[in-house]
Structure 1
Amino acid sequence: AHVDCSPHPSSTGADQVRTAVTQQGILLGQHSSQLTATSREVDLLTAQVAELNVRVQELQQEALASRSASSVIRSPPWAEPEPHANSPPPYDGDPNSCRAFLSQCSLVFALQPRRYVTEESQVAFVITLLKGRAREWATAVWDACAPFCATFQDFRAEMIKLFDRSAQGDEAASQLSRLNQNGRSVTDYSIQFRTLAATCHWNEAALRARFREGLKDEIQDEIVTHELPRDFDSLVELALRIEGRLQRRHQRWTERSSWTLGEGVSNSTLNASPSVVNPEPMQVGHLRLTVKEKQDRLVRGLCLYCGKPGHRAIRCPLKAGAHQ
């Protein structure tokens, strides 16, 4: 008998359906894996965005805090106004104030660099402050377009060469070696001393010794009772303190003598002869002091006998020798 081996139509269709379903399952599995991976990437991006948002908020808070701390927003340097600078007094060619005038002009240029930005503007500013013979010279050289008018430094050097006669170097040292306080205060004496010493290049020990030698005798006598300072500034401070103490002592003597003369001596006694007021010789040579001379010595803290400072008449060495 013949057997029919051809596939049955119904079984072939079922196989095709199963194959299609299998392929769809595979595709669905791939899609599922892709969806899972995409979901993970989305979650990662979401976390990164959240971190960025937090960082942005922190930066905004820091900027806000910084802005509140400095409520005034600083302008750029070129927009800030320059400080005010007073113009130096006019210069008339005085040989002792030339350097000081030019130094003040340099300070103006340093404080206002944008206003006097060019060398020509600086030279012009200096010329506007000149008068007298200095202005006549500057006007002539400016009109002649002299080469040294191109820069302030060259113009300054020319002015110093022409007008400056202030003590410098050896000349200042010579003046310093002869300088004394005389009738001035310690403050005035120290200012002139420092001015001359600035160009002498003396060492510290020499300056201290010369300053001490130039002081008044009464201040020198008081200084030797103290331990000498090791630097010049401390020596000046010590001299100032001693001067103040001596002035207060002289003032007390003045008040005491005024009270004594006002309360203890009558007007008739003041008008009497010097021998009545001063029964004892009160100066060298056994000449008697008048009331005015006596008051003057008391005010100045001088000895009523010899007229020198540093002691009173009761301890005057000349008086002791005269009575031996």
Structure 2
Amino acid sequence: MDSNAASASSLQNTSPPLNPAEVTNLQAAFAYQSELLKSYQEQLTKLQLVNEHLMHYIRSLPPPMPPTVSFALPNKFDGTAEQCKGFIRQVMLYLDHQGDKFDSEADRAINWASAVWDSDSQLKSSVDYFLQQIREVFQYPAGGRDISTQLINITQGNRTAAEYAVEFRTLAAQSGWNEIALKAIFYNSLNAELQTELACRREDSSFSELVTIAIRIDNLMRQTLKRKINKVSPRNSSVTASSATHSQDEPMQLNVSLITEEERARRRENHLCFY
């Protein structure tokens, strides 16, 4: 027998014999661990499926809505032509930014309408139609004049150019007139002094530029006039004070030289001087 065979034989002789019960326990432990790993694998698979479902759901969601700006309700319409356009603008802004508050155009957003609400069913189904009816009834030109007539007749008067430009621009935006016409009307409606200052500047300017230049020059002219008044005022006050003092002193000087009637008669008889 060679040396390797002798070593194996000696090992077999020295190893303790295996206990059948221990072998059974080891087999059971391995089987339990195998089942446990299998259960973990099933749970992991389920978690992966749930995660995929959640990711798919998240991707299918619409983009988040931006935060809405809170708008106050429009002011009550008083039925005047001057307030009509502003009221309609307020209503449109409110509906544009608070539309999610209304299920449809037939909701209570316009249930405050006039008596025609019950007679014209289209008022309940279309905001555009409803606003058109309001314009036809209430939005007539102020004072019975159309925009073009108002634009031709207004003048700067005693207002600053900045104040006047607000009214002029408001009418100009509604007139539909072109730049050349607006420039001519605006220039001719200004005060004569301001027209003189603008005479050499209006040809190459747009309407907007002309308005801006007019406001700047008008402000400068008013500031210059104010400075001149402030410089002249102290002189006038000193002259006035001096005149007042002089006028108050004069009666006192005259009173000193006054003489009685008896003294006047005595001097006349004696041919003496009266003063």
**TM-score bracket for the superposition, by shorter chain length:** 0.5 to 0.7
| Corresponding position: 1:151 with 2:126 | yes
CA distance in 2, matches of 1:179, 1:105: 30
* Other-structure match for 2:87: 101
Q: CA deviation at 1:264?
A: 3.8
* Other-structure match for 1:165: 140
* Other-structure match for 2:187: 212
Q: CA deviation at 1:117?
A: 4.5
Structure 1 or 2: larger helix share? Answer: 2
CA distance in 1, matches of 2:114, 2:150: 35
* Contact 1:97 1:166 survives alignment (8 Å): no
Q: CA deviation at 1:242?
A: 0.7
* Contact 2:202 2:210 survives alignment (8 Å): no
| Corresponding position: 1:112 with 2:111 | no
* Other-structure match for 2:78: 92
| Corresponding position: 1:174 with 2:158 | no
Q: What letter corresponds to residue 218 of structure 2 in structure 1?
A: E
CA distance in 1, matches of 2:147, 2:120: 35
* Other-structure match for 1:125: 109
Q: CA deviation at 1:86?
A: 2.6
Q: CA deviation at 1:160?
A: 0.7
Aligned to 2:115, the other structure's residue is in SS state helix
CA distance in 2, matches of 1:143, 1:247: 58
* Contact 2:155 2:190 survives alignment (8 Å): yes
Aligned to 1:251, the other structure's residue is in SS state helix
Q: Which of structures 1 and 2 has the larger relative contact order (alpha carbons within 8 angstroms, sep 6+)?
A: 2
Aligned to 2:194, the other structure's residue is in SS state helix
| Corresponding position: 1:140 with 2:126 | no
* Other-structure match for 1:64: none
* Other-structure match for 1:37: none
Q: CA deviation at 1:244?
A: 0.7
Q: CA deviation at 1:221?
A: 1.3
Q: What letter corresponds to residue 72 of structure 2 in structure 1?
A: N
After the TM superposition, which residues 248-287 of structure 1 pair with which residues of structure 2 at under 5 Å, given as runs? 248-266=223-241, 268-269=243-244
CA distance in 2, matches of 1:270, 1:222: 44
Closer, same or farther: CA 264–179 of 1 in aligned 2, 3 Å: same
Q: CA deviation at 1:270?
A: 9.6
* Contact 2:187 2:195 survives alignment (8 Å): yes
Q: CA deviation at 1:171?
A: 2.2
After the TM superposition, which residues 1-324 of structure 1 pair with which residues of structure 2 at under 5 Å, given as runs? 77=63, 80-121=66-107, 124-128=108-112, 138-144=113-119, 146-166=121-141, 171-226=146-201, 228-266=203-241, 268-269=243-244
Q: CA deviation at 1:190?
A: 1.5
Q: CA deviation at 1:243?
A: 0.9
Question: Which 5+ residue runs of structure 2 have no aligned equivalent?
Answer: 1-60, 248-275
Aligned to 2:101, the other structure's residue is in SS state coil
CA distance in 2, matches of 1:112, 1:165: 29
Q: CA deviation at 1:166?
A: 2.9
Closer, same or farther: CA 81–193 of 1 in aligned 2, 3 Å: same
Aligned to 1:120, the other structure's residue is in SS state coil
Closer, same or farther: CA 190–141 of 1 in aligned 2, 3 Å: same
Could you list the per-position Cα deviations for residues 267-323 of structure 1 after superposition, in whole angstroms to 9, with x for gaps in the alignment? 644997xxxxxxxxxxxxxxxxxxxxxxxxxxxxxxxxxxxxxxxxxxxxxxxxxxx
Query: TM-score, structure 2 length as denominator?
Result: 0.60
Aligned to 1:266, the other structure's residue is in SS state helix
* Contact 2:110 2:124 survives alignment (8 Å): no
Closer, same or farther: CA 254–76 of 1 in aligned 2, 3 Å: farther
Closer, same or farther: CA 270–209 of 1 in aligned 2, 3 Å: farther
CA distance in 1, matches of 2:234, 2:200: 32
* Contact 1:193 1:211 survives alignment (8 Å): yes
* Contact 1:95 1:164 survives alignment (8 Å): yes
CA distance in 1, matches of 2:214, 2:66: 46
* Contact 2:117 2:123 survives alignment (8 Å): no
* Contact 2:77 2:84 survives alignment (8 Å): yes
CA distance in 1, matches of 2:239, 2:134: 66
* Contact 1:119 1:151 survives alignment (8 Å): yes
Q: CA deviation at 1:198?
A: 2.0
* Contact 1:93 1:163 survives alignment (8 Å): yes
* Contact 1:223 1:239 survives alignment (8 Å): yes
Could you list the per-position Cα deviations for residues 207-248 of structure 1 after superposition, in whole angstroms to 9, with x for gaps in the alignment? 101100000111111112446442001000000001110111
Closer, same or farther: CA 227–208 of 1 in aligned 2, 3 Å: closer
Closer, same or farther: CA 226–154 of 1 in aligned 2, 3 Å: closer
